[in-house]
A and B are shown apart, each in its own frame.
Chain A
Amino acid sequence: MTTPTVGTAGSAEWRIAASVLDPEVPVLTIEDLGILRSVDVDAGGVVTVTITPTYSGCPAMEAIRDDILAAFTAAGRDAVRVEFVLSPAWTTDWMTETGRRRLEEYGVAPPARGGERLAGPGAVAITLSVRCPQCGSPDTRELSRFGSTACKSLWVCSSCREPFDHFKTI
């Protein structure tokens, strides 16, 4: 598996970019989500932030780009570019441990691990039980394979009867 970040993590510029929240799941930063790929600074001080979409049609990419630019402006930095890359393709395996915890606290069941292995027509997805983020019960069922955004499916808990979102494993 390709690591989600390169050697730029930890720099001041990285921290600025990493503070930006995902507009659809506003408890996750773009770093938590694993879509922040790199932050490079060239000799002239120009910052290039590279992000990747979760899904090809993710409508939040433009909003995220604007939020990144705004975060740098707020930090007094104007020479910033945001680039989009498709490769390597994002996988939920890139979500950080912090991100998974924050998702669950927010009421969204985090993805299973091993999304990377599921790509392609030959792959066989083994759906393990998804734990209810409200009451912790494993007695849940899928209501719809598609949820409020491309990255989520809709579930309901048979114990506490609450519906909840599950971040799809890809």
Chain B
Amino acid sequence: MTTVLAGYVLALADDALVAAQRMGEWIARAPQIEEDVALGNIALDLLGQARSLLTYAGSLHTPVRTEDDLAYLRDEHEFRNVHLVERPNGDFGVAMARLLVLSTYQCELYDRLRTSTDPTLAAVAAKAVKEVDYHRDHATQWVLRLGDGTEESRHRMQAALDAEWPFVAELFDGSYVDAALLGAGAAVDPGGLRPAFDHRIAGVVAEATLTLPDVGPAAGGGRRGEHTEAMAPLLDELQGVARAHPGATW
């Protein structure tokens, strides 16, 4: 039970950690200085959530692994994040499409996880739900502004949504969640979050005068440690300093 719980927690942690890393790449490259600050703050929230979850996942290991062990010393195939969060950054529309998808999913996830029978997960979720709700609101405002904006912004917002949509399905594929965890009320079945997610996204997309993409899902596999070619360079940057100077503190 401890091992399957650690695996579940790691999946949630890695989504947050890798999303934070990608989001952080935007700092000093966003279209406005306020947006640099916004994306930096969102990345910081995600990193904070990742740290709590990684610390918890590491505590379930024997011997205990620290959050730094897990963030810096695992290899690519040991990461359990979905492909959506590791994809390279595109234009700002892509960033907002991806943030809308991720935060809407996380909002539903953490809202339900607040009542998890696992007290640590419940505590992390109760904290995180307020943060991701704010992220969702931020992404929503941009999708509305860009979608219902100029011809160019509308075109690019639609293209962004179309590009990210194949990576939505993986978020809701619950095959990585052990049945025992669901039975014990510790984990949330991500498949059950899909109707609420679809409802919310459809509302935003319609209001933004955009069209919900009609595309099939990508291959997925992130939860099994199978990643896209974008993952290795991301980890190289995330882990480079820690690996070059083992045991260093700062």
Contacts and interface: CB of A to CB of B under 8 A. Distances in A.
B111 to A, nearest CB: 5
Interface string B21-64: 00000000000001001101110111111011000000000000
Interface residues of A, number: 29
A160 interface: no
A121 B48 contact: no
A121 B111 contact: yes
Interface string B115-128: 00001001110111
Interface stretch (B3-11, B133-141, B155-163, B236-244): B133-141
Nearest to A58: B48
B130 interface: yes
A81 interface: no
A118 B37 contact: no
Given A57-B45, A120-B111, A123-B133, A86 B37 contact: no
Main secondary structure, interface of A, reads: loop
Given A89-B123, A145-B134, A170-B130, A56 B49 contact: yes
Nearest to A121: B107
Interface of B: 34, 37-38, 40-42, 44-49, 51-52, 107-108, 111, 114, 119, 122-124, 126-131, 133-134, 136-138, 141, 196, 200
15 contacts: A55-B44, A56-B49, A56-B127, A56-B131, A59-B44, A86-B124, A87-B123, A89-B126, A120-B114, A121-B136, A145-B134, A145-B138, A146-B38, A150-B44, A150-B45
Given A89-B123, A144-B38, A170-B134, 20 more contacts: A56-B52, A57-B44, A57-B47, A57-B48, A57-B51, A118-B133, A119-B130, A119-B133, A120-B114, A120-B129, A121-B108, A121-B129, A123-B133, A144-B37, A145-B38, A146-B38, A146-B41, A146-B42, A147-B37, A150-B44
